[in-house]
Chain A
């Protein structure tokens, strides 16, 4: 049997090394998920921002104030779809906590494609915790607009006028990140922010009480599911980090020897 040479199988522009890394990471993620399914347990690193969500919801209830949650604005058709997905994942957790503690949850967003999902998630949160009477679709899930600053001003108005006790913002954010976080500060809300948009992370780190940094929002989605095999997939993420560290250190060692590792990684 004749085999095709590699260059006729793998797109040279995409890179063989990238494909190898992708396969390796997927396999390691899969491996840990399978191990977890067989009953193996792993210590999964804790994300403080995720653990703080329960406190945020409970505090809001104590103060008699609503919980504000937003996933941002935009279209799910873009490269930011994973971040909206992560935002929706954490929303399931927040919605269930809202049901558990009897909190009034207000979800604002500007993602038209996510209207149905958000509505369902909030409804499920209240119903699954046996509090269907708290669910009010008009009040709980509010689509604002998909225009950046119109969304920002509207979300800001909701946070301030409704006097949110907790302000949780998770998704892809642009210049509006600080507008949302400062609105929360103005009303003294307990704030948790998270985004994988690198430029906006510093604003959340500085202004919020807790912040998800970068990929932590994806891990939070898995934590929200409460499913142990799903949670185990985060180990795959960590294997990737370890691999990156090894490659960086190796690159640093090889550089004085005149070998530029990066050029080989472009293969």
Chain B
């Protein structure tokens, strides 16, 4: 019996079985949504109320800096928060410290045209594009955007953009939001935007980056974090615009359920084998 249990353990532990079930149970809710209720975490509520309490028309700096692999987790956060900011008539200056940022921004803009509807380029929002130099670029942008870049992402001279004439230095921004897949970028903004200029920071990050970014909030260097796709889904609920974040929540639930079932089965097998072994 002990041997057959071990064999069962091996069968359950087969990668192919687990992987196949995971694919199936991730895809099913995409086609047949379960519409499970979601709770709004205190963290996301805090970000929402912070943005909600901003003075209408505030200048916001956005570092759009995630890579393609992080799109699923961060794009829902970016879309929902940017919609909220535009609804509050905030003016957005968007830049990317990573090379993939501008590409991801264009994909986001093309797939979510509604949030940019009625907003005029140059006055309501500006996309500076990729700024090379990592931390020194962050420092340069904080000192002066027009002094750091000559033209925006579309080739317009930076001096011709009315928004940049109004908001050119870190001090003029009411908030900086960093959407990134790189923990280093968070340090750049803490060191170059928060420490010298005290610009409040909101960090939109991957689920796995949460623990590393946590100390920024505890130390008061960041207002709050938006962590992973869950935060995106929660924010979509708060702004009343369901999107891919919310759509993927069911898939996240079912895939987590499969993993949990496997963990439970694994433990049952482990203890059955162990107890039988001890009896003998």
Whether A199 lies near B183 (C-beta < 8 A) is yes
Whether A199 lies near B208 (C-beta < 8 A) is yes
Residue of B nearest to A182 (CB): B15
Whether B184 lies near A175 (C-beta < 8 A) is no
Q: Can you list 21 A-B contacts (CB < 8 A)?
A: A13-B195, A13-B196, A78-B134, A78-B184, A79-B184, A79-B187, A148-B67, A148-B69, A149-B69, A174-B182, A175-B69, A175-B208, A186-B15, A197-B183, A198-B211, A198-B212, A199-B183, A199-B208, A199-B209, A199-B211, A199-B212
Residues of B within 8 A of A197 (CB): 183
Residues of B within 8 A of A199 (CB): 183, 208-209, 211-212
**A binding-site residues for B, Cβ under 8 Å:** 13, 78-79, 148-149, 174-175, 186, 197-199
Say how far B254's CB is from chain A's closest CB, in angstroms: 21
Residues of A within 8 A of B184 (CB): 78-79
Count residues on chain B whose CB falls below 8 Å from chain A CBs: 14
**B binding-site residues for A, Cβ under 8 Å:** 15, 67, 69, 134, 182-184, 187, 195-196, 208-209, 211-212
Name the prevailing secondary structure of the A interface residues: loop
Measured CA separation A79–B15 after assembly (Å): 37
Residue of B nearest to A198 (CB): B212
Say how far B87's CB is from chain A's closest CB, in angstroms: 33
Residue of A nearest to B206 (CB): A175
Residue of B nearest to A262 (CB): B219
Residues of A within 8 A of B187 (CB): 79
Residue of A nearest to B191 (CB): A13
Name the prevailing secondary structure of the B interface residues: helix
Residues of B within 8 A of A78 (CB): 134, 184
- Report the 9 A-B pairs with minimum CB-CB distance, sorted nearest first: A199-B212, A198-B212, A199-B208, A199-B209, A199-B211, A149-B69, A199-B183, A79-B184, A13-B195
Measured CA separation A197–B211 after assembly (Å): 11
Residues of A within 8 A of B212 (CB): 198-199
Residues of A within 8 A of B208 (CB): 175, 199
Residue of B nearest to A202 (CB): B211
Measured CA separation A13–B184 after assembly (Å): 20
Measured CA separation A199–B212 after assembly (Å): 6
Say how far A266's CB is from chain B's closest CB, in angstroms: 10
Residue of A nearest to B219 (CB): A262
Measured CA separation A10–B173 after assembly (Å): 30
Measured CA separation A199–B209 after assembly (Å): 6
Residue of A nearest to B215 (CB): A198
Residues of A within 8 A of B196 (CB): 13
Say how far A13's CB is from chain B's closest CB, in angstroms: 7
Say how far B137's CB is from chain A's closest CB, in angstroms: 13
Residues of B within 8 A of A198 (CB): 211-212
Residue of A nearest to B213 (CB): A199
Say how far B280's CB is from chain A's closest CB, in angstroms: 27
Say how far B259's CB is from chain A's closest CB, in angstroms: 14
Q: Beyond A78-B134, A198-B212, A199-B209, list 15 extra A-B contacts (CB 8 Å).
A: A13-B195, A13-B196, A78-B184, A79-B184, A79-B187, A148-B67, A175-B69, A175-B208, A186-B15, A197-B183, A198-B211, A199-B183, A199-B208, A199-B211, A199-B212
Say how far A205's CB is from chain B's closest CB, in angstroms: 13
Residues of A within 8 A of B183 (CB): 197, 199
Residue of B nearest to A185 (CB): B15
Say how far B44's CB is from chain A's closest CB, in angstroms: 21
